[in-house]
Amino acid sequence: MTANDRAALADARRIVVKFGTRVVTHDGVELAAGRVHGLVEELARLRRRGLEVVLVSSGAVGMGMRALGLVDRPRSLGLRQACAAVGQGHLMGLYMQAFAQLGVTAAQVLLTQEDLADRDRALCVRTTLMRLLELGVVPILNENDSVSVRELVNLRIADGGQAPEVAFGDNDGLSALVTRALDADLLVLLTDVDGMYTANPSTFPDATRIRSRVGVDGDDIARAGGTSTGGTGGMTSKLEAARLVTDAGVPAVICGGDNHGVLARVLAGDDIGTVIWPAVPRPARRRTIAQAPRSGALVVNDGAIAALVERKASLLPIGVISVEGRFERGDVVEIRDRSGRVFGRGLVNYDADAATALAGHRSTEIDAILGYRGYDAIVTRDNLVLIAGDAKAGAQ
Domain boundaries, the chain: 6-283, 287-395
Whole-number CA gyration radius for the chain? 22
pTM higher than 0.85 for the full model?
A: no
| Residue 42 clears pLDDT 90, i.e. is over it | yes
Burial of 370 (0-12, 13-18, 19+ CB in 10 A): middle
Using the predicted structure, report yes or no on whether residue 98 has a pLDDT greater than 60. yes
- pLDDT at position 291 over 80: no
The Cα–Cα gap between 368 and 390 comes to: 35
Give the containing element (helix H, strand E) for 357. Answer: helix 352-358
pLDDT of 300 over the 80 cut: yes
Beta bridge partners, 317, equal none
Q: Hey, what CATH topology would domain 287-395 get?
A: 2.30.130
pLDDT number for residue 23: 92
What is the spatial distance between Cα 6 and Cα 378, in angstroms, rounded to a whole number? 40
The per-residue pLDDT for 16 is: 97
Task: Output the average pLDDT for the chain.
Answer: 83
* DSSP designation for 321: E
Give 286 or 344, the one with higher predicted confidence: 344
Residue 371 burial by Cβ neighbours in a 10 Å radius (0-12, 13-18, 19+):
exposed
Highest mean pLDDT: which range of 60-69, 141-150, 322-331 = 322-331
Percent of the chain predicted with pLDDT > 90: 43
**Arch. (CATH architecture) of 6-283:** 3-Layer(aba) Sandwich (3.40)
